[in-house]
Amino acid sequence: MHEVPGRIRVHLCCGRMTLRQADLLECCFRVAWIYTVFAYFHTISSLYLLNIFLRVITVIAEIIYFVLSDKKLRAPDALSPCG
């Protein structure tokens, strides 16, 4: 995944993950999956499950991120710029 025009990304002043960091994290998870789950089961189905689990983990992480960022933005001092 690379940064392209039209891709939605939410920016918080003081805490955001770049697309490069997100890609690195996803890559690490894929490698860990291959060395653990795939190494144990040795089936193509276990590789297909990787995409499903990545999507679920991504959705959960995004929900947590947006809930926390929403709380941050609704805080009384949220109108001040970072710092």
Q: Which domain holds residue 60?
A: 26-72
Predicted local distance difference test score (pLDDT) of residue 77: 60
**Residue 52 falls inside a structural domain:** yes
**Residue 42 falls inside a structural domain:** yes
pLDDT in tens, 30-65: 999 999 999 999 999 999 999 999 999 888 888 888
Please choose, from the candidates 68, 77, 75, the residue with its C-alpha nearest in 3D space to the C-alpha of residue 17. 68
**Residue 14 falls inside a structural domain:** no
Two structure tokens written together for 28: 């690490």
Residue 82 has pLDDT above 90, yes or no: no
Q: How many domains is the chain built from?
A: 1
According to DSSP, residue 13 is labeled S
Within its chain, how far is the Cα of 6 from the centroid? Answer: 18
Mean pLDDT computed over every residue of the chain: 77
Q: Say what percent of the chain tops pLDDT 70.
A: 71
**Residue 18 falls inside a structural domain:** no
Predicted local distance difference test score (pLDDT) of residue 14: 45
**Residue 21 falls inside a structural domain:** no
Two structure tokens written together for 42: 């040795």
